[in-house]
C-alpha cells in the first residue's frame, strides 16, 4: 500500500472520528434542548387544562349546593318534586337522590343511587366539606357517572349524578400533534377522562395500559409525585414507542386526581432529529461548510415551530387565567355584597330581641332591617336574572298596562335609596304619549328601576332626573326612558366594559357602593330582547346619562295628559340591628377601637360589645385608625378592623401599624379582622398579614365572646377593678300582677328566674 493511500486512510479515519464525535454530541444536546422545550409546552397545556377542570369542579359543587339550598327543610314531602324541578332545569345533573343509612328519602331521575352508597368514603367526606365530587361509579343500571355528595341535614346525604363522560368531553378538545392527548385519572389510577371514551366507560386503569413492570412502576411514581409535589414530568415507553408525559395534581379534586398530557416523541420535532443527523453525516463527508448551513437551517425550522406552539399556548393560558380571576373576583364580591346587608339584618334583629329598646329605637332598627333586606333582595334578583338570561330562559310577556302607573311604581320602589343625601329628584313625562301601551310591564319597570338605582347609588349630591318621552309611528310607540344624574360619572376607558356581566368599573373608587355589577348587563340584554337599544354618555366626575329606546304597541288613542314636572319627596328612612341576653364577663377596664366605613356596622358592633362595659371608640377609615395608633393619645386593648374600605383598606392599615410605626405597642396590639369577605382561604391570608383573629359578618356573638376572652380579658386588671367596684346587692324583682299575664300554663316566677329577674326583658 502506497504512502499516499496510508495518509488518505489516516485522514479519513481522523475526519470520520471528528465528524462522528461532533454529530454525536450535537445530536445529544439538540435532543435534550428540544425535549426540555416540549416538556415545558406540555406543562403549559397541563396547567391550562387543570385550571379548566378545577373551575368546572367548583361550578359543579356550587350548583349542587344550590339545589340542596332550594329544599324546604321543614317539609320533606316536597323534596322529590323540588329535586325534579332542579334537575330538569339543570343542564348538568342526570338524577338526584337523598338517602340515609337505611332508606332513600327522596329521589328524581334514573339511575337511582343505592342506599349502600351512604358508606362510600366520598359520601362520608360530605360531612366535612360543603360538597364532594366522587370518582366515576357504575350504577345498578350500568350507567357510568360522577356523584356529587352534599350533606343535607341530620345525617341525610344528597347525591346528584353527572355523566361519566363529562370530563372526557371537556378534555377532547386538547390534542398534541396526531395521537397525543390530555387525560385524567383518580387516586387509584382509574381513567375518569380520556379521548377514548371506552377507557372511562369500562373503568380502565393506567396500570392495565402500562402492561410491563417497568412502566407500572413509572405510573405509580408519577401518580405519587403529582400528589406530593403537585406536578412533574416523565418519559414512558408504551407499545415500544417513547412518550413524554407532563402530569399535575387536580387541585379541585377530592380523590387525589391527576391530569396528564402525553405526546408521542415520534410525532414531534424529536422525530426529525435522527433524520437530520443522517443527512448531516453524508453532507459533512462531502461538503463540510455546506453541511453546517443545512444543520443551522434545519434546527431553526424546528425551533420556530416550537416557539409558535409556545406562544399559542401562552395566549390560551392568559385567557384561562383572566377567566379564573374574573370568577374569583365575582365570588369574592358576591360574598361581600350579600354578607353586608345580612350582617345588618341578623345583627339588628339579634339586638332587638334583647328588649332594651324603646318603641322609637325599635322602629328605627326595623327600618334598618327593612332597608338591608331590600338591598339583599336586589342582589339576589340580579343574580337570578343574569342566570336566566345566560341560560336562555328570559321571556318577554306582553300585556296591556298603564304608563302613569308604571312610572309611579318604578319611582316609588327606588325613593328609599336617596336616604339622607342632598339630591333633587325630578320626573318629566311627555304629555302626548298614549296613556295605555302593550308590552312587558314587569321588564320595563325593572329597566327603570336598575337605571334609577345606579343613579342614586353613584350620586352623593345634586340632581337625578327621569324623563319619559317617545315618538309614534303608526301603531308603534318608540318609548325613550332617560335617566340623568350629576354623580361620579364613568371613565372613558371603562365605557367599553360597562355592560359586561360579573364586573364593576372603577372598583377601587366605588368599593363603598353596594351592588353586584350585573344591573346594566341585565338592562342591556332585556332591551335587546325587546328589539330596542341602550346608549350612555358620561363625563367622569360630572355625571352620566343613560337612554333606553324600546318599541311598544299603542292601546287606544287617549294621551297621558300634562303631568308636568314633579319633584319627588324622598322618604325618611333609617337603616339596621341586637340578640337575647347572654352571660358575659364584664371588661370595663378595657378600651376598644372599631374601624369600619359603614355606620350601621359600627352601631351593630357597639350594641354587641355593650354588655362588656368597655370604652369603645370608632373611626370610619383605615387612615384614621393608623393616625390614632401613631399619635397614641390613648392606648387600646384591641382593634376590630374591617377589610374592604375605600382609600386605605384594612390590610394596608395593619401593614403600616405593624411595620412602619416603630413602637412595641403598635407591633403587639391585638388586631381582629371583622369583615364580610368570607371566601375560603381568607382567614389564612389575614393571619399571615398581621391579624390575630378573624370574624366574619354576620357577627357570631359566641365567637366574638371567645376572641375577647382570649385577646382582651386581663384577670389581674379584672380583680383590681372588682376590688375598687364591689358589686351592688341584687334584689329579685317582685313577680308582676297575675292579671297582666292571663296566659294559661305560664309560670311567671320561673320565667323571671330564666331572665335573671329582669322584668323589662321578660315583658318584652
Average pLDDT of the residues in 357-369: 72
Which range is least confidently modeled, 33-37, 293-297, 525-529, 689-693?
293-297
More confident residue, 400 or 416: 400
Residue with cell 337612554: 547
Q: What is the pLDDT of residue 365?
A: 76
Render pLDDT for 183-207 as a digit per residue (tens, 0 to 9): 999 988 899 999 889 989 998 888 7
pLDDT band at 301 (very low <50, low <70, confident <90, very high): low
Contact 618, 634 (CB under 8 A): no
Average pLDDT of the residues in 732-750: 57
Left (φ > 0), alpha (ψ -120 to 50) or beta: where does 203 sit?
A: left
Q: Which of 250, 198, 247, 190 is nearest to 218 (CA)?
A: 247
Render pLDDT for 258-294 as a digit per residue (tens, 0 to 9): 999 988 888 878 777 777 777 777 787 775 555 544 5
Mapped onto helix, strand or coil, the DSSP state of residue 428 is strand
How many CB atoms sit inside 10 A of residue 250's CB? 23
Task: Give the count of alpha carbons within 13 A of 446, CB side only.
Answer: 20
Continuous segment of H or E residues that includes residue 511: none
Average pLDDT of the residues in 387-412: 76
Contact 502, 495 (CB under 8 A): no
Q: What is the pLDDT of residue 711?
A: 94
Does the pLDDT at position 755 exceed 50?
A: no
Mapped onto helix, strand or coil, the DSSP state of residue 699 is coil
More confident residue, 624 or 224: 624
Contact 368, 357 (CB under 8 A): no
Cis bond before residue 539 (omega within 30° of 0): no
Render pLDDT for 546-581 as a digit per residue (tens, 0 to 9): 999 999 999 888 888 765 444 444 443 333 333 344
pTM score, whole prediction: 0.38
Does the pLDDT at position 243 exceed 80?
A: yes
Does the pLDDT at position 128 exceed 50?
A: yes
Instruction: Determine how β-strand 565-567 pairs with β-strand 693-696.
Output: unpaired
Task: Give the contacts of 764 (CB within 8 A, at least 6 positions apart).
Answer: 355
Q: What is the pLDDT of residue 763?
A: 61
483 beta partners: 466, 546
Rounded distance between C-alpha atoms, residue 34 and residue 282, angstroms = 23
Rounded distance between C-alpha atoms, residue 747 and residue 43, angstroms = 73
Phi and psi at residue 380, to the nearest 5°: -65, -40
Rounded distance between C-alpha atoms, residue 681 and residue 585, angstroms = 32
Average pLDDT of the residues in 496-515: 56
Average pLDDT of the residues in 304-312: 75
Task: Give the count of alpha carbons within 13 A of 605, CB side only.
Answer: 30
Rounded distance between C-alpha atoms, residue 395 and residue 392, angstroms = 8
Does the pLDDT at position 754 exceed 70?
A: no
Cis bond before residue 111 (omega within 30° of 0): yes
477 beta partners: 472, 552
Contact 148, 26 (CB under 8 A): no
Mapped onto helix, strand or coil, the DSSP state of residue 740 is helix
Q: What is the pLDDT of residue 742?
A: 52
Q: Which of 224, 231, 275 is nearest to 250 (CA)?
A: 231
Does the pLDDT at position 328 exceed 80?
A: no
Amino acid at each position: 500500500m502506497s504512502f499516499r493511500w496510508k495518509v488518505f486512510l489516516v485522514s479519513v479515519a481522523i475526519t470520520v472520528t471528528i465528524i462522528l464525535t461532533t454529530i454525536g454530541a450535537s445530536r445529544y444536546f439538540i435532543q435534550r434542548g428540544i425535549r426540555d422545550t416540549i416538556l415545558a409546552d406540555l406543562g403549559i397545556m397541563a396547567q391550562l387544562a387543570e385550571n379548566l377542570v378545577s373551575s368546572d369542579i367548583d361550578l359543579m359543587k356550587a350548583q349542587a349546593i344550590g339545589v340542596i339550598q332550594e329544599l324546604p327543610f321543614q317539609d320533606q314531602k316536597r323534596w322529590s318534586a323540588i329535586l325534579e324541578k332542579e334537575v330538569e332545569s339543570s343542564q348538568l345533573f342526570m338524577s338526584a337522590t337523598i338517602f340515609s343509612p337505611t332508606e332513600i328519602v327522596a329521589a328524581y331521575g334514573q339511575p337511582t343511587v343505592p342506599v349502600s352508597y351512604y358508606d362510600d368514603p366520598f359520601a362520608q367526606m360530605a360531612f366535612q366539606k360543603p360538597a364532594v365530587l366522587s370518582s366515576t361509579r357504575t350504577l345498578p343500571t350500568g350507567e357510568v357517572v360522577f356523584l356529587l355528595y352534599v350533606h343535607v341535614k341530620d345525617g341525610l346525604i344528597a347525591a346528584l349524578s353527572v355523566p361519566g363522560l363529562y370530563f372526557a368531553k371537556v378534555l377532547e378538545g386538547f390534542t398534541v400533534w396526531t395521537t397525543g392527548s390530555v387525560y385524567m385519572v383518580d387516586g387509584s389510577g382509574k381513567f375518569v377522562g380520556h379521548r377514548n371514551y371506552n377507557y372511562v366507560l369500562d373503568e380502565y386503569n393506567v396500570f392495565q395500559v402500562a402492561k410491563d413492570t417497568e412502566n407500572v412502576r413509572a405510573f405509580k411514581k408519577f401518580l405519587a409525585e403529582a400528589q406530593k409535589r403537585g406536578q412533574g414530568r416523565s418519559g414512558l415507553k408504551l407499545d415500544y414507542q417513547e412518550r413524554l408525559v407532563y402530569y399535575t395534581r387536580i387541585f379541585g379534586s377530592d380523590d387525589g386526581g391527576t391530569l396528564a398530557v402525553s405526546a408521542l416523541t415520534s410525532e414531534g420535532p424529536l422525530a426529525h432529529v435522527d433524520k437530520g443527523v443522517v443527512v448531516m453525516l453524508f453532507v459533512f463527508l462531502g461538503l463540510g461548510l455546506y453541511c453546517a448551513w443545512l444543520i443551522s437551517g434545519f434546527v431553526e425550522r424546528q425551533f420556530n415551530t416550537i416557539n409558535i406552539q409556545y406562544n399559542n399556548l401562552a395566549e390560551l393560558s392568559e385567557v384561562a387565567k383572566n377567566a379564573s380571576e374574573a370568577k374569583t373576583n365575582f365570588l369574592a364580591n358576591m360574598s361581600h355584597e350579600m354578607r353586608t346587608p345580612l350582617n345588618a339584618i341578623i345583627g339588628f334583629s339579634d339586638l332587638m330581641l334583647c328588649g332594651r329598646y324603646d318603641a322609637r329605637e325599635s322602629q328605627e332598627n326595623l327600618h334598618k332591617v327593612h332597608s338591608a333586606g331590600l338591598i339583599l333582595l336586589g342582589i339576589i334578583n340580579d343574580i337570578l336574572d343574569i342566570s336566566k338570561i345566560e341560560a336562555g330562559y328570559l321571556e318577554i310577556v306582553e300585556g296591556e298596562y298603564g304608563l302613569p302607573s308604571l312610572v309611579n311604581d318604578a319611582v316609588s320602589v327606588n325613593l328609599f335609596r336617596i336616604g339622607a343625601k342632598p339630591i333633587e329628584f325630578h320626573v318629566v313625562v311627555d304629555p302626548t304619549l298614549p296613556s295605555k301601551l302593550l308590552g312587558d310591564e314587569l321588564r320595563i319597570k325593572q329597566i327603570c328601576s336598575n337605571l334609577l338605582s345606579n343613579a342614586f347609588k353613584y350620586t352623593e349630591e345634586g340632581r337625578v332626573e327621569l324623563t319619559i318621552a317617545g315618538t309614534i309611528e303608526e301603531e308603534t310607540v318608540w318609548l325613550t326612558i332617560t335617566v340623568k344624574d350629576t354623580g361620579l360619572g364613568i371613565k372613558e376607558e371603562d365605557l367599553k366594559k360597562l355592560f359586561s356581566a360579573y364586573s364593576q368599573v372603577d372598583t377601587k373608587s366605588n368599593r363603598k357602593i353596594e351592588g353586584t355589577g350585573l344591573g346594566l348587563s341585565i338592562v342591556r340584554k332585556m332591551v335587546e330582547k325587546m328589539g330596542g337599544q341602550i346608549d350612555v354618555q358620561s363625563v367622569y366626575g360630572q355625571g352620566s346619562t343613560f337612554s333606553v329606546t324600546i318599541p311598544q304597541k299603542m292601546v287606544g288613542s287617549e294621551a297621558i295628559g300634562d303631568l308636568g314636572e314633579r319633584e319627588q319627596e324622598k322618604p325618611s328612612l333609617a337603616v339596621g340591628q341586637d340578640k337575647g341576653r347572654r352571660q358575659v364577663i364584664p371588661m370595663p377596664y378595657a378600651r376598644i377601637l372599631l374601624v369600619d366605613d359603614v355606620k350601621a356596622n359600627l352601631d351593630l358592633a357597639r350594641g354587641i360589645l355593650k354588655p362588656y362595659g368597655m370604652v369603645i371608640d370608632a373611626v370610619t377609615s383605615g387612615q384614621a385608625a393608623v393616625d390614632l395608633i401613631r399619635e397614641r393619645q390613648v392606648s387600646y386593648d384591641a382593634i376590630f378592623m374591617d377589610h374592604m374600605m375605600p382609600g386605605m383598606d384594612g390590610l394596608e392599615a395593619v401593614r403600616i401599624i405593624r411595620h412602619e410605626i416603630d413602637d412595641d405597642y403598635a407591633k403587639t396590639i391585638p388586631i381582629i379582622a371583622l369583615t364580610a369577605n368570607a371566601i375560603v382561604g381568607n382567614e389564612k391570608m389575614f393571619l399571615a398579614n398581621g391579624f390575630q383573629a378573624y370574624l366574619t359578618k354576620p357577627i357570631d356573638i359566641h365567637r366574638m365572646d371567645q376572641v375577647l376572652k382570649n385577646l382582651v380579658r386581663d384577670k389581674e386588671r379584672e380583680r383590681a377593678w372588682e376590688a375598687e367596684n364591689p358589686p351592688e346587692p341584687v334584689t329579685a324583682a317582685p313577680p308582676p300582677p297575675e292579671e297582666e299575664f292571663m296566659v294559661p300554663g305560664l309560670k311567671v316566677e320561673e320565667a323571671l328566674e330564666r331572665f335573671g329577674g329582669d322584668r323589662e326583658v321578660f315583658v318584652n
